[in-house]
Amino acid sequence: MKFYLYTYVCADCGHRFKAPEVMPGSYGEFLMRSINGETVWLDGPNDETYSEVDGLLEQLLQGQGVSATRRADLLRRVFGVACDPDSQGQPFSLLIKPRCGQCASVNMDYWEGTEPPEYVDRDFAPVQHRQWRQLSQAQKLDLLRQMLPAPRP
Q: Which pLDDT tens digit goes with each residue over 132-150?
A: 999 999 999 999 999 987 6
Q: In this structure, is the dihedral angle defined by the CA atoms of residues 29, 50, 10 and 100, taken in order, positive or negative?
A: negative
Share the mean pLDDT of the chain. Answer: 94
Q: What is the pLDDT of residues 58-72, one digit of tens each?
A: 999 988 888 989 999
Closest CA to 1 of 122, 117, 119: 122
Label residue 140 left, alpha or beta by phi (over 0 means left) and psi (-120 to 50 means alpha): alpha
What is the reported pLDDT for 26?
87
CA distance 74 to 62: 14
**14 class by beta-carbon count within 10 Å (0-12 exposed, 13-18 middle, 19+ buried):** exposed
153: in domain: no
C-alpha span between 52 and 145 (Å, rounded): 14
- If one counts the domains in the chain, the total is 1
Domain assignment of residue 152, yes or no = no
The residues that bridge with 31 in the sheet, in sequence order, are 41
* Structural domain that includes position 107: 2-147
Residue 100 resides in a domain:
yes
What average pLDDT does range 72-95 have in this prediction? 96
pLDDT at residue number 32: 98
**pLDDT on residue 151:** 63
Q: How far is CA 116 from CA 4, 6, 119, in A?
A: 11, 11, 10
For 25-30, what is the mean pLDDT?
Answer: 90
